[in-house]
A and B are shown apart, each in its own frame.
Chain A
Amino acid sequence: NAGVTQTPKFQVLKTGQSMTLQCAQDMNHEYMSWYRQDPGMGLRLIHYSVGAGITDQGEVPNGYNVSRSTTEDFPLRLLSAAPSQTSVYFCASSERDSSYNEQFFGPGTRLTVL
């Protein structure tokens, strides 16, 4: 099993550009989520999904869109990148929901917005 994979690993954008961060898992996990981590800080929840076709907002959803058309994939879209979105983005998945199960994290995408 590859676990949770994220692409790209690094990305530089100009202000106003759009892009999609990819996340995929091969563990048949129902629960997936996106976090951002700013320097010296913990992770902040952006969006999460409890299954295909179901998504919800986390702590910091503004400026980001998600969709969940399959169990495996959970892409994160930045519609119009801003310097404040410079961060490391982590995708995570867990079995059932995160109430009783550990989350498995991808290696992260380091995003810089100029």
Chain B
Amino acid sequence: SQQGEEDPQALSIQEGENATMNCSYKTSINNLQWYRQNSGRGLVHLILIRSNEREKHSGRLRVTLDTSKKSSSLLITASRAADTASYFCATTSYTGGFKTIFGAGTRLFVKA
């Protein structure tokens, strides 16, 4: 079973609104990463947060991590139509070797 699970599965908002996506995971992690995938393309790394960090910012992105609840959230502020994509969280854990496991993703649609 996949380590990370995103919520919601799909999200539709108006341009200018904020978008929040959540990710839950099951086991201890070394870090959690968020990636974006435009339709039919490869994944692009957005941000990485380590297990000893609680919050990180990058431009319009804000990521939080709560290791006690095994959850993370990605906030995109002032969304744009170009933000329309699928967003995946990925957790890295050491289990005899570092493995990065992806969740099923949140499909974000930003209406102009």
Contacts and interface: CB of A to CB of B under 8 A. Distances in A.
B104 interface: yes
Contact of B102 (A44, A50, A106): A44
Interface in A44-98: 44-45, 48, 50, 56, 58-59, 90, 92, 97-98
Interface in A100-114: 100-108
Interface string A1-45: 000000000000000000000000000000101010000111111
25 contacts: A31-B98, A42-B2, A42-B88, A42-B103, A42-B104, A42-B105, A44-B102, A45-B99, A45-B101, A50-B98, A56-B97, A59-B2, A59-B101, A90-B43, A92-B43, A97-B98, A98-B92, A102-B33, A102-B45, A103-B33, A103-B45, A103-B90, A103-B100, A105-B44, A108-B41
Contacts of A56: 96-97
Residue among A43, A50, A103, A107 with the most chain B CB within 10 A?
A: A43
B39 to A, nearest CB: 12
A43 B41 CA distance: 13
B101 to A, nearest CB: 6
Q: What does DSSP make chain B's interface, helix, strand, loop or mixed? A: strand
Interface of B: 2, 4, 30-31, 33, 41-45, 48, 50, 88, 90, 92, 94, 96-105
Given A97-B98, A100-B31, A104-B45, 11 more contacts: A42-B2, A42-B102, A42-B104, A43-B43, A43-B88, A44-B102, A98-B98, A98-B100, A102-B33, A102-B48, A103-B90
